[in-house]
Amino acid sequence: MRLEVSRKIFAVIEDGDGWAVESGGAILERRGDKDEAKAAAHRRARSEQDAGRPCMVRVNGEHGFTARADRDSVRGAPAVRPGSRFLPKT
C-alpha cells in the first residue's frame, strides 16, 4: 500500500517580463526578479509548513533538464567542441 500525501505546490514561473508565484492554477504574486519570486514562494511555503500542511516549492528551469540552442550565452563559456581535450579523439 502506498501512502499518498497531498501537498500544496508553489511554482515560481516566468510571467511576461517578470516572475510569478503560482499555486493551483492561480497567480498569487508577481515580482520583477526571479530571486524575489523565489523568496515570496518560500515565505508562503514556510507559512503552510508552520500550520502543519505539507507543501513544496518548484522553480521553473531549476529542476530537471532544460536545454537552449545558444548554450554559450547561458553559461558564459564556450561549449565543448569536437576536437576538444574533453572529448575522446576519434
List, for residues 32-78, the tens digit of each pLDDT value: 999 999 999 999 999 999 999 999 999 987 765 545 554 444 445 55
Domain of residue 36: give its range.
8-62
Q: Is residue 89 part of a domain?
A: no
Q: Is residue 51 part of a domain?
A: yes
What is the average per-residue pLDDT within 7-32? Answer: 93
Distance CA 82, CA 14 (A): 34
Phi, psi of 64 (to 5 degrees): 85, -160
Whole-prediction pTM value? 0.64
Amino acid occupying residue 50: D
Q: Is residue 82 part of a domain?
A: no
Residues 10/41, Cβ–Cβ less than 8 Å? yes
Q: What's the N-to-C CA distance of the chain in angstroms?
A: 51
pLDDT at residue 79 tops 80? no
Q: Is residue 85 part of a domain?
A: no
pLDDT given at position 83: 52
The total number of structural domains in the chain stands at 1
Q: Is residue 26 part of a domain?
A: yes
Q: Is residue 39 part of a domain?
A: yes
Nearest to 36 by CA among 15, 5, 65: 15
